[in-house]
Amino acid sequence: MPVSVIIPALNEEPCIAAAILSAFLAGAAEVIVADGGSSDATVEVARAHDARILTGADMRSHLLNLGAREATHDTLLFLHADTLLPLGASAAVEKTIADGVIFGGFREIPIREDYELARRMKRAGRTAILPLAVRTSGRRLLDHGVVRTTARHSILIAGYHLGVSPERLARWYRR
């Protein structure tokens, strides 16, 4: 059961090569970079590292769904461009979902699509936690500060639960 790794990207030139390499070293059969119109060399770097390139709108949920639709394998692993997979990640994923999982898709909203999917997955059944750890860059925390970043995300989640539209949350977040 080969794994397709899907990486949504927008101006990720400094970190995309490492993410792609980690995916291949983790055992991915295919790495797809779904680019939202990068103005830097993200696409060229990704292509040079044997990733398959797809382009689409710069909304992350759209890029994730595009990658899922175009993947050549049924087992999908979604990866942030600043995150590195550990060795053996693909095999661990394959073993965990050998009984079959249906991908319900990301809701195409401008923000919190990952959180919304996680909530749907929780309602659908038990979540498996793999005995592996990924490494994610702290660049966003360092750029904006730990307290400010944590507060912003807490407010976004609270707003989401209170019924604030994802479009309004996205406008607030991007200010």
Looking at the structure, tell me whether residues 92 and 160 fall in a common domain. no
Region 160-172 average pLDDT: 94
Looking at the structure, tell me whether residues 11 and 93 fall in a common domain. yes
- With a CB cutoff of 8 Å and minimum separation 6, the contacts of 147 are none
pLDDT at 65 over 70: yes
Looking at the structure, tell me whether residues 167 and 92 fall in a common domain. no
Looking at the structure, tell me whether residues 41 and 72 fall in a common domain. yes
pLDDT digits (tens, 9 = 90+) for 103-154: 588 999 999 999 998 888 888 877 777 889 999 998 888 888 999 999 999 9
Looking at the structure, tell me whether residues 124 and 149 fall in a common domain. no
Range of the domain at 49: 3-134
Region 158-173 average pLDDT: 94
| pLDDT for the residue 131 | 86
Q: What is the pTM of this model?
A: 0.89
Number of domains making up the chain = 2
Looking at the structure, tell me whether residues 122 and 152 fall in a common domain. no
More confident call, 160 vs 125: 160
Looking at the structure, tell me whether residues 117 and 42 fall in a common domain. yes
- With a CB cutoff of 8 Å and minimum separation 6, the contacts of 153 are none
List the CATH number of the domain containing 91: 3.90.550.10
Mean pLDDT of the chain: 92
Helix (H, G, I), strand (E, B) or coil at 74: coil
Looking at the structure, tell me whether residues 158 and 145 fall in a common domain. yes
Looking at the structure, tell me whether residues 60 and 108 fall in a common domain. yes
Region 43-55 average pLDDT: 98
CA-to-CA separations, 107 to 19, 112, 134, in angstroms, rounded? 24, 9, 25
